[in-house]
Structure 1
């Protein structure tokens, strides 16, 4: 006997884990970055390399997902990964504070901390998404993804607001205290969110039995999953679409400053419009699902639509760059955020719908493959965006034209990703019978 699907309350509980992951991540990626560069006057390359190390560790996602497949339960991996993630976040703050007096030791500790952060978020995040996909009814998966990721963004916003207030007046010890407190709160939220969730509504003897150990090694399992046409194509789609998604990140605010003459404070508020749009887009997708019931468990229409929406949002920013002052830039940033929010939930919903296709009891490895593709793409997208932007500014006669060309190229990349989404193939319902799944994979 299998556990019943998660209730809405159960989905919200799992969303608390996403909130916890986001809370620790945003402090290490944003606040510590700023402290290193501004308060400690260190080269911005240092936090850049540390963040890159965090993404590099996410190449372990397939191996960690394979480990969770061996036991058939995801809870130990979520809890263990979150403990490592939270401990790494606290250690990163200690390392940053130590850099003020003992730079070499502080950097060494920071390397260890960001390795812990990368491994922890990989273990917890991969198993969390698999658990959410397996325990949620197909018709509710888009709404579940929207709830979980909206709660993660809420964690971003709440943590930055609370930490910003608590860190003033700034001191290294205050930084360590605030970071440690956030890590402890994140662990509490994780325990509340995951407690008995795999056995919710079922008697102890009805809990999922451990999956049969695979007959192949990890490399053989990964090669077998890569041989599945749909899994391989979706990994390629994730890489290309996330490249387009992350490429504008590091050039949007510099663009607003260079072309529109905005101050740092004004561009920060502009980014706030973008984040607000992202939240609206994430919340909007479930309502769109209700308007089109026939697409609730379908994959292709949503990811194609999400990519085309992002292409339109970036093309709008390209027009803003070409037009210069006088263009309604706040509206354009709000619209860009709206489209990226729609894309995010469409892509995550597609992962949840497709993870059960193909060989059974290999969801963790399959999700890990896609997560690794996403991490590598996101880690390189920002760098490539700045590289292309710098090249365009040197080759083209005006700053406005160079930014317009770069944003238009990124929009074209999203259109290419939409074509890849069609290439993925027919929509797949994750709960389809094994015979139907095998027949589709054979195609």
Structure 2
């Protein structure tokens, strides 16, 4: 019986794993939704309350949001630590705990903005530092877990499900908190936001329960990475030409993606005379397009994985070039005014953004497991840090460029034209960088090819 047991155990270790099932992927998506819901409070709701209710200069919450992105440069470290540990779940739980505490502290800081002082400023920096650390730690370990547990054929759909659920978490949290915040009061703000944090945290804990234990990695982990130091891990990643090229792609594409964040609604207001309500609906339309694009790329990438080799490169290039074309349309719209079909253009931009974003995340999940050994956490951390830096720079750069160009040229249309054109050029550059990277290299067993 002992010999038979040993033989069975040896076979189980060498047999290829089929990867986590769809329910497990949805459970990981639930954790992403929880992260999105808590981050939404800091980056959207608290920002609005500080500026509108307490008349705080808009630069202050903008700087705090940028700081939470800057803190995420630590993502490679958290990913490396999760690579070295026996389990990634404790890192996800620790990150979620820090994120939840930072979000609750940020509520108190927001209320204190009614009468700010040095103590308020220090607590504000502390709370957004905790939010940045929490997002970086939990998000990186979660993506590494997803990369190591999902088969190659399912990775495009897994990326779509995960990111769609994250956006759904943001939308649901925003909708519910907005519905219960009126009439506004400080106690109501504290209660509503604390409930959002509590529900999100508990949902994530339930989704994580025994998830990692019951789903072994698709490929066995290389013990080499258990002994690597953090600098050695970074050097090995940077020596990998494909990983390095993909890092550049992530930075350029996310820089282009985020430059529009803070200027789309002002663009609609200045040149299309839209009211705040109408411009908010335009933003909602764009996010609807993103969801459609994510589903198209995710389902398409998985349905045709065996036939076309899960060619995520094709989806990335289509999404980037399509985004560039749509931004070119917005640049032209600046000269046409209300005669231009702005809503259709913005929906198309969102759809192309969604296509490239999900394809990029799917490629990221695949590339994370293609190093010498596993080291999914360290690789995910490097790309996550690149994305966070690009997001922080992109939003700020887009807004500053528009302001400076409006002041220099004296023409709103010209300012927006130039910025949208720069974004389009960046998307084309990202597509060119992506074409030089082999994004998918599935095994012959899975029936796909690069």
User: Normalising by structure 2, what TM-score?
Assistant: 0.90
Q: 1:71 corresponds to which residue? A: 85
C-alpha separation between the residues in 1 aligned to 2:85 and 2:224?
Answer: 8
C-alpha separation between the residues in 2 aligned to 1:360 and 1:367?
Answer: 14
Q: How does 1:23-422 map to 2 (within 5 A)?
A: 23-101=37-115, 103-200=117-214, 211=223, 214-289=226-301, 290-291=303-304, 293-396=306-409, 398-422=411-435
C-alpha separation between the residues in 1 aligned to 2:30 and 2:289?
Answer: 22
C-alpha separation between the residues in 2 aligned to 1:78 and 1:355?
Answer: 18
Do the aligned partners of 1:72 and 1:210 also contact (CA within 8 Å) in 2? Answer: no
Do the aligned partners of 1:199 and 1:207 also contact (CA within 8 Å) in 2? Answer: no
C-alpha separation between the residues in 1 aligned to 2:220 and 2:93?
Answer: 18
CA separation of 1:99 and 1:399: change in aligned 2, threshold 3 A: closer
C-alpha separation between the residues in 2 aligned to 1:371 and 1:401?
Answer: 34
User: Could you list the runs of 4 or more consecutive aligned residues of structure 1 that deviate by over 6 angstroms after TM superposition?
Assistant: 206-210
Do the aligned partners of 1:98 and 1:105 also contact (CA within 8 Å) in 2? Answer: no
The CA deviation at 1:93 is 0.3
User: Normalising by structure 1, what TM-score?
Assistant: 0.92
Aligned to 2:436, the other structure's residue is in SS state: helix
Could you say what the CA RMSD is over the residues aligned between the two structures, in angstroms?
2.2
Aligned to 2:76, the other structure's residue is in SS state: helix
Give deviations 1:292-319, integer Å, cap 9, x for gaps: 6433533422222221121122112112
The CA deviation at 1:400 is 1.8
CA separation of 1:397 and 1:293: change in aligned 2, threshold 3 A: farther
The CA deviation at 1:57 is 0.9
The CA deviation at 1:75 is 0.7
Aligned to 2:212, the other structure's residue is in SS state: helix
Aligned to 1:325, the other structure's residue is in SS state: helix
C-alpha separation between the residues in 2 aligned to 1:315 and 1:136?
Answer: 37
What runs of 5+ residues in structure 1 fail to find an aligned partner? 434-439
What runs of 5+ residues in structure 2 fail to find an aligned partner? 1-11
CA separation of 1:116 and 1:154: change in aligned 2, threshold 3 A: same
C-alpha separation between the residues in 2 aligned to 1:9 and 1:275?
Answer: 25
Do the aligned partners of 2:56 and 2:113 also contact (CA within 8 Å) in 1? Answer: no
Give deviations 1:366-421, integer Å, cap 9, x for gaps: 11001000000110001111222233334446322331232122111100110000
Equivalent residues, number: 430
The CA deviation at 1:423 is 2.1
Give deviations 1:39-82, integer Å, cap 9, x for gaps: 11111111111111101110000001010011142111111111
Do the aligned partners of 1:69 and 1:211 also contact (CA within 8 Å) in 2? Answer: no
